[in-house]
Chain A
Amino acid sequence: ETGVTQSPTHLIKTRGQQVTLRCSSQSGHNTVSWYQQALGQGPQFIFQYYREEENGRGNFPPRFSGLQFPNYSSELNVNALELDDSALYLCASSLPQGNQNTGELFFGEGSRLTVL
Chain B
Amino acid sequence: QKEVEQDPGPLSVPEGAIVSLNCTYSNSAFQYFMWYRQYSRKGPELLMYTYSSGNKEDGRFTAQVDKSSKYISLFIRDSQPSDSATYLCAMSRSAGGFKTIFGAGTRLFVKA
Contacts and interface: CB of A to CB of B under 8 A. Distances in A.
Interface of A: 4, 31, 33, 35, 40-45, 48, 55-56, 58, 90, 92, 94-110
Interface in B3-30: 4, 6, 8
Given A103-B34, A104-B49, A43 B96 contact: no
A105 B100 contact: yes
Given A103-B34, A104-B49, A43 B95 contact: no
15 contacts: A40-B8, A42-B4, A42-B6, A42-B104, A43-B102, A56-B98, A97-B95, A99-B95, A102-B95, A104-B97, A105-B36, A105-B44, A105-B100, A107-B44, A107-B45
Contacts of A104: 34, 46, 49, 97
Contacts of A94: 96-97
B88 interface: yes
B60 interface: no
B95 A101 contact: yes
Nearest to A93: B97
B97 to A, nearest CB: 4
Between B4, B8, B34, B95, the greatest number of chain A beta carbons within 10 A of the residue's beta carbon is seen for: B95
Contacts, number: 80
Given A90-B43, A103-B32, A31 B99 contact: no
A107 B90 CA distance: 14
Contacts of A107: 43-45
A44 B90 CA distance: 11
Contacts of B88: 42-43
Nearest to A107: B43
Given A41-B105, A42-B6, A42-B88, A103 B97 contact: yes
Between A41, A43, A97, the greatest number of chain B beta carbons within 10 A of the residue's beta carbon is seen for: A43
A100 to B, nearest CB: 5
B110 interface: no
